[in-house]
Amino acid sequence: MSTALLVLHWVAGFIVLAEALNKLERTAPCAPGLTPRERVTAWLKGFAWLLLGLGGAGALITPLLPLERPTFQDVCVMLGFAVLIVRTRVKEG
């Protein structure tokens, strides 16, 4: 069971990191013409995706370093974000 959790955590981390990098590339909080509210929203969105990307990168590096194995909670959180990302991509079609 522990190996299955590790694999799920790694795959979910890969999906979350890929999407985070994609979103960060397209986020432009310093773009001209944004209202203050849009600018704050863009900064918060960028910060949130940065944190998710760091979490995804951590999930990818965990099997390679002598770190703690992910707990069931860690796997559930990362897998939940990955499912939401895949769902959104499928919905966009």
Number of domains in the chain: 1
Q: Which three-class secondary structure state does DSSP give residue 67?
A: coil
> What are 16-71's pLDDT values in tens digits?
999 999 999 999 999 999 999 999 999 999 999 999 999 999 999 988 888 888 99
- Which domain range does residue 26 map to? 2-92
The whole model's pTM is what?
A: 0.89
d(CA 61, CA 73) in angstroms, rounded, equals 18
By C-alpha distance, which of 6, 3, 26 is closest to 14? 6
CA geometry: angle 68, 21, 53, nearest 5 deg: 25
- Which residues contact residue 24 at a Cβ distance below 8 angstroms, ignoring those fewer than 6 apart? 46, 49, 50, 53
Split at pLDDT 50, 70, 90, the class of 2 is confident
Alpha carbon separation from 62 to 23, 56, 59, 88 (Å, rounded): 23, 10, 5, 27
Split at pLDDT 50, 70, 90, the class of 1 is low
